[in-house]
Chains A and B, each alone.
Chain A
Amino acid sequence: EIVLTQSPGTLSLSPGERATLSCRASQSVSSSYLAWYQQKPGQAPRLLIYDASSRATGIPDRFSGSGSGTDFTLTITRLEPEDFAVYYCQQYGTSPLFTFGPGTKVDIK
Chain B
Amino acid sequence: EVQLVQSGAEVKKPGESLKISCKGSGYSFTTYWIGWVRQMPGKGLEWMGIIYPYDSDTRYSPSFQGQVTISVDKSISAAYLQWSSLKASDTAMYYCARPSAGGFSKPLAYWGQGTLVTVSS
Residues of A within 8 A of B (CB): 1, 30-31, 33, 35, 37, 39, 44-47, 50-51, 56-57, 88, 90, 92-93, 95-103
Contact = CB atoms under 8 A, between A and B. Distances in A.
B100 A47 contact: yes
A33 to B, nearest CB: 6
B44 A102 contact: yes
Given A97-B62, A98-B35, A92 B105 contact: yes
Contact of B107 (A1, A92, A95, A103): A92
Contacts, number: 73
Interface of B: 35, 37, 44-47, 49-50, 59-63, 95, 97, 100, 104-109, 111-114
Contacts of A51: 107
Contact of B114 (A44, A57, A90, A97): A44
Nearest to B95: A44
B45 A97 contact: no
12 contacts: A44-B95, A45-B45, A47-B107, A50-B100, A56-B100, A57-B109, A95-B105, A96-B49, A97-B47, A100-B46, A102-B44, A103-B44
B105 A33 contact: yes
Given A56-B100, A88-B45, A97 B61 contact: yes
Contacts of A30: 105
Contact of A44 (B47, B105, B111): B111
Contact of A46 (B47, B62, B104, B111): B111
Contacts of B35: 98
